[in-house]
Structure 1
Amino acid sequence: MEIFPISLKLQQQPCLLVGGGHIAYRKALLLAKAGAIVDVLAPEIDANLLKLVQTSQGQYVAAAFSTDFPLKHYRLVIAATDQAQVNQAVFETCEAQNILVNSVDDPPHCRFMVPAMIDRSPLVISVASNGTSPVLSRQIRTQLESTIPHGMGKLAAFSGKWRSTVKAKIVNPDERRIFWEDLYASPFKEQVFNDNLAEAERLIELALSEWKTPKGEVYLVGAGPGDPELLTLKALRLMQQADVVIYDRLVSEPIMDLCRRDAEKIYVGKARSNHAVPQEGINALLVNYAKQGKRVCRLKGGDPFIFGRGGEEIEELFAAGVPFQVVPGITAASGCSAYAGIPLTHRDYAQSVRFLTGHLKEGSPELPWQELVYENQTLVLYMGLVGLEKICQRLIEHGQRADMPVALVSKGTTPEQKVVVGTLADIASQVSEHHIQAPTLTIIGEVVRLREQLQWQG
């Protein structure tokens, strides 16, 4: 994040615009709407801009900018001329005096940016691109405008009137957040939107009178194979309302960025022979946080019920009397094969698919080999990279063709996705050659041949 978004309170605060034309006028409109006192410094001034300056109780100074112009009492300065050298001089002078400064359409000479805004006062939403693409910011604003009801401003104002009352009744800030979330999910919001304020008052009073300390709950959420756009809507909603997020090694950073920003985040990732927290410890964390009244998101890569130990965790929650929800995720077999262009089933090549774990027990593969040697099925191995050579050998020993196609999909669905194709006879030797790293999914079967024709990603 290259910029830090803030919301400035500019009511009755002096702000300076350098420039008197239409560029300055556009910025002056925003400043005046925010309640600022707008001064303008320019040799000439547009008539509409002059009127706006006077309405804001500001002053017009009919002069060109000079480095000795007094700036110290201004909250911020905007250079809005059509002369690059003047805008640069304004920037350098403000920088020397630690004054917030913006040069219109000149990102290198900006200490702050003016974002694209959606005004639902007192609710204001801004979209910024660090000056790299203001047109894109405006397009996103347009998209958001169509999805955010105009009544949101009324809802924010109404809620503000009740804020101190709710704070006095519900002292714990975590509980207070849950109260507001539940209230906004109730008919209360629509009553405010429709100006039925008496009914809205009744509903919020009722909610306060019936308020009880909420019980903790655990959300067992599948985060999918890595691409954040593969999250389900329910997964995203629960991730953003959880008080605590307990996450695995396979949950990608972009997905973690979608969790509630102020949630407590606890890493319990497992790598081979390196468990940050043993499974028993994870189970205890889930139970303990839930019994503290927390909403806990147990975030797992892929799907929690496919080699994710989700069943073990909810058994523990059930035994402890902790409420829970399970949200399926796109498992790695489905996501990675799709992004690699390899259909797991195909009428001409595979009428069944089998998911297996490649983890070795005491260094020896423990798989039902005879059942796996079948021409028209696809085998998908999770966590099989370390034991890949032994697995390939065993399949060949039990009768599988040495030239059976195999694909390795490393870091599937992410920007770092890498796919290597070979055969049972040679795929293990390609791991080091192509620097394949975990997490890697192994796909064995004739369907792998289709990748050459169907690949579309990575």
Structure 2
Amino acid sequence: MSLYPLFADLRSRAVLVVGGGAVAERKIAALRAAGAVVTVGAPALTDALRDDVARGTLRHREGNFAADWLDGAWLVVAATGDRAVNRQVAAAAETRRVFANVVDDAELSSFHVPAIVDRSPLTVAISSGGAAPALASHVRARIEALLEPSLGPLADLARRWRTRLRTHLPEPAARRRFFERHVLGPVADLLRRGDAQAAEVEFARGLKSTSRTAQGSVALVGAGPGDPGLVTLNAQRALLTADVVLHDRLVPAEVLSLARRDAELVDVGKQVGGKASQAKHADQDDIHALMLEHARAGRRVVRLKCGDPFVFGRGGEELEFLAAHGIPFEVVPGVTAALACAAHAGVPLTHRDHAQSVRFVTAHCRDSVDTLDWRALAAERQTLAVYMGVAGLEALRARLLEHGRAPSTPFALVENGTRANQRVVIGTLANLVERAGAHAVRAPALLILGEVAALANRLHWFGTVPLGEPAREARAA
């Protein structure tokens, strides 16, 4: 984030605008609407600005810019159209530690004026950091269409009731739940119909009937394989309303950033196939205890899992625990790794010429790998998608070969699938272990084994070219 966004309270504060043309006129109008005490400095003014000066609603410093015009100013806007003068204003403002906006000149500006969606007292500001004002205007138009005019009166009603709401519901989670379920429901509906008086009555009635103790809940949410673009809308909604997020270690920061800014983020992950990270990780009983503790405290908990909660994510165990303790829950599915990694590696999991079925297997299960049906797994013309298998590749290869899978069976090992640093290592079952070792493949990685894996070399479209046989790699280099 190159700019730190903030909303400035300019009521009764001095602001200087240098320039007296049409652009300055527009800037002055916006500043005065925010309550600023504006002084305009310029040799000449537009007719409208001269009239404002004559009425005493605008101060005027006549002549060419001088540094002492900035004395006492909180902000300055340079709108002269003369870059030499604008540069002079920016330099003087920098010396005095006064924030300066130079119109249409991001390089000289220390603050930027965003595109605004006004639903006062609700305000949405959009900025491109001066890089593409037209894009910011386009985004503003899109948001303008989404935000109904009744949001302004709704925000004003919430402001008037703020003190009573905090007194009646001192717990932030309880206030948030009341707002989401009641204010954004029946109260907002009444305001959309233009009945402000009935909305006020409904707000009071709802608050009176709301318990001080909010009931907590848990949502098991699939974070997908890593690309934040694959996080579902329902998952985003859950993250935006969560008080606490208990997340796997491998959930990337870009996905965690979708949570509310004041949500508590707790890393409860375990690392598979490598050294543990520096953070203290929880075992499954610890995770159960954390879910129970936060939910009983009235918090909305998101248990954020890589991929999908019900595909090797122990989601079933966690739901059984929650049901046994009477905790309300919901499940938000996610894009599981087999689907996403295969797609980003250019490998169709099924193909009428190569594979009529696909099996999802974990090589890191509770019981020994010898409990798996290796005869069935070794059958031809099917695809195996092996989760969490990096540490067990040697045992997996041995069992498959022992039960009849051909040594020439192609594989694609997808590391960090869907992410910017995705790598795909390809080869055959015979050299699976050696190829993975030669390229130091680490978790998270998904193994795709079967005839379809041979298509990775021809159909790859995302990330770097698959790493094939050593001779081929040498020729490519």
- Same-fold call, TM cutoff 0.5: yes
**Aligned AA (1:232):** T
Query: Which residue does the alignment assign to 1:226?
Result: 226
Q: How does 1:322-333 map to 2 (within 5 A)?
A: 322-333=327-338
Query: Which residue does the alignment assign to 2:62?
Result: 62
Change beyond 3 A, Cα 1:49–1:398:
farther
User: C-alpha separation between the residues in 1 aligned to 2:10 and 2:79?
Assistant: 19
User: C-alpha separation between the residues in 2 aligned to 1:80 and 1:56?
Assistant: 22
Query: Which residue does the alignment assign to 1:121?
Result: 120
User: C-alpha separation between the residues in 2 aligned to 1:419 and 1:8?
Assistant: 49
**Aligned AA (2:177):** I
Query: Which residue does the alignment assign to 1:182?
Result: 181
Q: Which of 295, 301, 321 is matched with 1:316 structurally?
A: 321
Query: Which residue does the alignment assign to 1:380?
Result: 385
- Partner-residue secondary structure (3-state), 1:325: strand
Query: Which residue does the alignment assign to 1:39?
Result: 39
Q: Which runs of 5+ in 2 are unaligned?
A: 464-477
Q: Report how far residue 111 of structure 1 moved.
A: 1.9
Query: Which residue does the alignment assign to 1:165?
Result: 164
Q: Say whether the 8 Å CA contact 2:116–2:125 is kept in structure 1.
A: yes
Query: Which residue does the alignment assign to 1:109?
Result: 108
1:24 matched to 2:29? The reply is no
Q: Which of 321, 341, 357 is matched with 1:352 structurally?
A: 357
> Aligned-pair RMSD on alpha carbons?
2.1
Query: Which residue does the alignment assign to 2:409?
Result: 404
**TM-score when scaled to structure 2?**
0.90
- Partner-residue secondary structure (3-state), 1:441: strand
User: C-alpha separation between the residues in 1 aligned to 2:8 and 2:437?
Assistant: 54
Q: How does 1:207-356 map to 2 (within 5 A)?
A: 207-212=206-211, 213-272=213-272, 274=276, 276-356=281-361
Q: Report how far residue 442 of structure 1 moved.
A: 0.7
**Aligned AA (2:242):** A
**Aligned AA (2:403):** H
Q: Report how far residue 429 of structure 1 moved.
A: 2.4
Q: Report how far residue 360 of structure 1 moved.
A: 7.2
**TM-score when scaled to structure 1?**
0.94
Q: Report how far residue 285 of structure 1 moved.
A: 0.5
**Aligned AA (1:283):** H
Per-residue CA distance 1:351-388 (angstroms, 9 max, x = gap): 11100112278997653221111111110011111222
The worse-fitting range, judged by mean Cα deviation, of 108-117 and 355-364 is 355-364
Q: Say whether the 8 Å CA contact 1:29–1:52 is kept in structure 2.
A: no
Across the two proteins, how many residue pairs are aligned to each other?
A: 457
User: C-alpha separation between the residues in 2 aligned to 1:164 and 1:364?
Assistant: 60
Q: Report how far residue 150 of structure 1 moved.
A: 1.5
**Aligned AA (2:107):** P
User: C-alpha separation between the residues in 2 aligned to 1:134 and 1:122?
Assistant: 24
Per-residue CA distance 1:145-168 (angstroms, 9 max, x = gap): 111112211211222222222223
Q: Say whether the 8 Å CA contact 2:13–2:74 is kept in structure 1.
A: yes
User: C-alpha separation between the residues in 2 aligned to 1:45 and 1:433?
Assistant: 73
Change beyond 3 A, Cα 1:194–1:54:
farther
User: C-alpha separation between the residues in 2 aligned to 1:115 and 1:56?
Assistant: 29
Q: Report how far residue 56 of structure 1 moved.
A: 7.9
Per-residue CA distance 1:240-298 (angstroms, 9 max, x = gap): 11111110012121110000110111111110363711111111101111111111111
Q: Say whether the 8 Å CA contact 1:358–1:365 is kept in structure 2.
A: no
Change beyond 3 A, Cα 1:361–1:180:
closer
Change beyond 3 A, Cα 1:70–1:28:
closer
Q: Say whether the 8 Å CA contact 2:157–2:200 is kept in structure 1.
A: no
Q: Say whether the 8 Å CA contact 1:39–1:53 is kept in structure 2.
A: no
The worse-fitting range, judged by mean Cα deviation, of 328-337 and 390-399 is 390-399
1:444 matched to 2:449? The reply is yes
Q: Report how far residue 35 of structure 1 moved.
A: 2.2
Per-residue CA distance 1:301-352 (angstroms, 9 max, x = gap): 1011111111111222122221111111111111111122211112221111
User: C-alpha separation between the residues in 2 aligned to 1:30 and 1:416?
Assistant: 46
User: C-alpha separation between the residues in 2 aligned to 1:396 and 1:57?
Assistant: 88
User: C-alpha separation between the residues in 2 aligned to 1:138 and 1:358?
Assistant: 51
Query: Which residue does the alignment assign to 2:471?
Result: none
Per-residue CA distance 1:118-162 (angstroms, 9 max, x = gap): 111111100112222222211111111111112211211222222
Change beyond 3 A, Cα 1:456–1:36:
same
Change beyond 3 A, Cα 1:176–1:360:
closer
Change beyond 3 A, Cα 1:54–1:153:
farther
User: C-alpha separation between the residues in 1 aligned to 2:366 and 2:313?
Assistant: 17
1:199 matched to 2:204? The reply is no
